Amino acid sequence: MNELKLSIENVNPAVLWGPNNDHFEIIKKQYPKLKIVARGSEVKILGDDHELNIFQEKFDHLLQHVEKFENLNITDLERILGSKNTNAPAADPSADKFASGEVIVFGPNGVMVKARTANQRKMVDCINKSDILFAIGPAGTGKTYTAVALAVRALKNKEIKRIILTRPAVEAGENLGFLPGDLKEKIDPYLRPLYDALDDMIPAEKLKFYLENRTIEIAPLAFMRGRTLDNCFVILDEAQNATDMQLKMFLTRMGPSAKFIVTGDVTQIDLPKKQQSGLHTALRILTDIKGIEIVYLSGEDVVRHKLVRKILEAYGDIQ
């Protein structure tokens, strides 16, 4: 009888083994000739070489599924363990959705984050073929949410090493100096929409880890000055509140292996009245540059409450 040791340190054991260890019991029943013992981040298996080889291939596919989707149900478990082809991962029933661009990423508990409208799907297609994307549209059209989902997908697929999310720290009726706390505490409320999107796509403990080790960085636009942003996915949100010089500074931070998405709403500019939005200038002068895509979202893309579209119509944001 031989022994095989496998590591599960890259996945959440609670997801892998299931509630009340239900998944673990199914795995053991699937391989009655093997003795399987799980302790901490290691699984020890005893049995003959042939059975061990089959188990290792299946278990590797299982770990790949959990690492990618951060979710595992009994149907998925039985499908992967029962796959006849031991030389390749079991077929993923969501593969066609990935190919069409409908599902962008799987969040905690298997929640599917989708491109739900034609223009959101266009964002997915454009960033796949170009390195800079401008997504322009009114509130509620999902431009920021879709952009963050694309960044998380790239990180999970190991296409990039880091995600950087940034916003201009421009007051919308409030004054930063009068907010309580240190600089981080003053700035965080302006960045909260980015945190909210990440919360929907990455489990809390993993997100905390990513933020602590700077795999994911969220910072005001001013903090980008002087940096070269490479091998990362960078999102500038609320770009309508960046000046010409700020937007030029941001776009010229781009390293050779980076993806940039700029989102903005030209109807909600919070800059002082005499200051021009850099987004207007960028949309005018960068339109014809190959490798830069611009997607305009409209009221048809609103995915918030149905009243949001009516509110935008009332305010004249939808023509």
Please give the domain boundaries of the chain with CATH numbers for all domains: 2-81 (3.30.1370.10), 96-315 (3.40.50.300)
Longest dimension (CA), the chain: 80
Amino acid at 95: A
Percent of the chain with pLDDT over 90: 49
Q: What is the pLDDT of residues 249-291, one digit of tens each?
A: 999 999 999 999 999 999 888 888 888 899 999 999 999 999 9
Q: Residue 7 carries which side chain, given as an amino acid letter?
A: S
User: Which pLDDT band holds residue 110 (cuts at 50, 70, 90)?
Assistant: low
Average pLDDT, rounded, for the chain? 84
**Is residue 292 helix, strand or coil?**
strand
Judging by beta carbons within 10 Å of its beta carbon (0-12, 13-18, 19+), is residue 21 exposed, middle or buried? Answer: middle
- 47 three-state secondary structure: strand
What is the separation, in whole angstroms, between the first and last Cα of the chain?
Answer: 74
Which H/E stretch holds residue 209?
helix 204-212
CB 281 within 8 A of CB 244: yes
Per-residue pLDDT at 86 exceeds 50 = no
Q: What DSSP designation does 83 have?
A: -
pLDDT in tens, 135-168: 999 888 999 999 999 999 999 888 999 999 998 8
pLDDT, residue 182, reads 60
Q: Are the C-beta atoms of residues 90 and 80 closer than 8 Å to each other?
A: yes
Question: In the prediction, which pLDDT does 94 show?
Answer: 43
What local confidence, expressed as pLDDT, does residue 97 receive? 44
Q: Note the pLDDT of residue 184.
A: 62
Tens-digit pLDDT profile for residues 175-213: 445 555 665 666 677 778 888 999 989 988 999 999 999
Is residue 119 a contact partner of residue 296, using CB atoms and an 8 Å limit?
A: yes
CA dist 22 and 81 (Å) reads 15
How far from 6 is each of 39, 40, 119, 295, 314, CA to CA, in Å?
A: 11, 11, 44, 46, 60
pLDDT for the residue 180: 59
pLDDT of 92 > 50? The answer is no
Q: Each residue of 111-137: pLDDT tens digit?
A: 778 888 889 999 999 999 999 999 999
78 compared with 230, residue with greater pLDDT: 230
Q: Please, which pLDDT band fits residue 64 given cuts at 50, 70 and 90?
A: confident
CA–CA gap between residue 81 and residue 54 (Å, rounded): 10
Paired with 234 in beta bridges are 164, 260
Q: Taking each helix axis as running N to C, give the angle between helix 74-81 and helix 22-30, from 0 to 180 degrees, rounded to the nearest 10.
A: 20
